[in-house]
Structure 1
Amino acid sequence: MRASRFLSVSAVMVALAAPAAAQQAGNADLAQQLSNPVASLISLPVQTNYDWGWGADGDGFRFTANVQPVIPVSISSDWNIISRTILPIIAQNDVTGPGTSQFGLGDTVQSLFFSPKAPSASGVVWGAGPVFLVPTATDRALGSGKWGVGPTGVILKISGQTTYGLLANHIWSFAGSSSRGDVSATFVQPFVSYTTRSATTWGLNSEISRDWIGDNWLVPVNATVSQLVVIGKQPVSIGGGFKYWIESPAGGPDWGLRLVVTFLFPK
């Protein structure tokens, strides 16, 4: 009798544990997809950056909230177009000079990646397409005042729980305010991340910017950790980390913090 009760309780525990384990595995898969810039997953990251050390005297501060919707669109049985938008909202003090402050929108960067739905035989994922610079800045100090265009691409590999790859673009200006300087800028982002089975992701990346006109480099290193949770039925990734600027021009930042909240909309 006791043996049959024990087996019945064990069966109930297994039945309850199986969906929980499946949900945990599903959450880990969603978390890892966030490390893939061309994943077939609708998401809305809001990335906030706090950077100190701006300005000639090093006392300046800049807050940037990047609203970054990612929308994949199926165009055939084998291909997607992934739209990635970066719209910055900026507040800064003592950056352009002592006692100055600005608040408003920055320029929008719009990328379109044409990407195969399936990885290659070796497990490589890639995407390529155009990138556009749109002069949406509401203050002269927050944007370039130029329209721009260029190529963008990403290549990555998912090896077990690790994702590593490289995203890059280059933008040349072609129109805009004649009183503003031309734009010729390269952006390179190497990245690596590890996602645990409990949907925690540890990440390390750099976001290297090269201004060819002004002969300036910006080279931050970002170390982050994030956790995917489900609030009600809404999957949300919440994370943050530390930023250290290896290279920046005179008046550039020294260090910063990053917080990211990402809303996921799996199909």
Structure 2
Amino acid sequence: MPAALRDRAFQWGIGLAARLPTASRDGLGQEDGALGPAVAARWVGKRWSTGLQLLHEQALGGEGTADVTRVQPFVVRDLGAAWSMGAEADARYDWERHSLKGPLTVYLRRARGTWAFEAGARYWPDGPTPEPEWGLRIGATWVFE
């Protein structure tokens, strides 16, 4: 991102969301594909960024498929020296089951060169089982400009 846009900038975009059936086991992901519209908006400040991503995944068929609308708000705080900390939600509305579920996540991220590494904790207030569940999020992102 150009230096002029790094401080106090509003950004938005529209595009296409795709879910590919790449899970090798049922517990690791969905066995069907989906396609749909996506909209994102964010405000980038000097130390804080906040935004929202909204997307709809229209199932492409298969047994047990579901159309899902996702709302993903987030907030990120720049900690300096290429470190940042963030929080996000991933609320998913299942149109077939008429249910709203999704995890809340807090994470710490470190950027190094063209890569960003992150680790954090996830909490499902209304998870796949009746009781709340905790999880771990670990990731690496290739960053390109």
Smaller-chain TM-score bracket: 0.7 to 0.9
Aligned with residue 243 of structure 1, among 114, 122, 126? 122
Matched, 1:143 2:143: no
**1:124 and 2:14 matched:** no
How do 1:166-177 and structure 2 match up within 5 A?
A: 166-173=52-59, 175-177=60-62
Distance 2:44 2:136 in 1: 27
TM-score for the superposition, normalised by structure 2: 0.79
Which string of whole-angstrom CA distances, capped at 9 and with x for unpartnered residues, describes residues 36-55 of structure 1?
A: xxx69xxxxxxxxxxxxxxx
SS at match of 2:31: coil
Bigger proportion of residues as helix: 1
What residue ranges of structure 1 are gaps of 5+ in the alignment? 1-38, 41-117
Shift of 1:140: 5.2
Contact 1:155–1:165, Cα closer than 8 Å, also in 2: yes
User: Hey, what does 2:108 align to over in structure 1?
Assistant: 225
Which of 76, 80, 86 is the aligned partner of 1:203? 86
| Match of residue 193 from structure 1 | 76
* Cα deviation, residue 197, structure 1: 2.9
Superposition pairs for residues 1-267 of structure 1, below 5 Å? 123-139=9-25, 142-145=29-32, 147-173=33-59, 175-177=60-62, 180-229=63-112, 234-250=113-129, 254-266=133-145
TM-score (norm 1): 0.46
* Distance (Å, rounded) in 2 between the aligned partners of 1:241 and 1:221: 10
Whether the aligned pair in 2 keeps the contact of 1:218 and 1:248 (CA below 8 Å) is yes
**Aligned partners of 2:65 and 2:140: how far apart in 1?**
34
**RMSD of aligned C-alpha atoms?**
2.7
Does the 8 Å contact 1:217/1:249 carry over to 2?
no
More contact order relative to length (CA 8 Å, sep ≥ 6): 1
Alignment partners' CA distance in 2, 1:263 and 1:251: 36
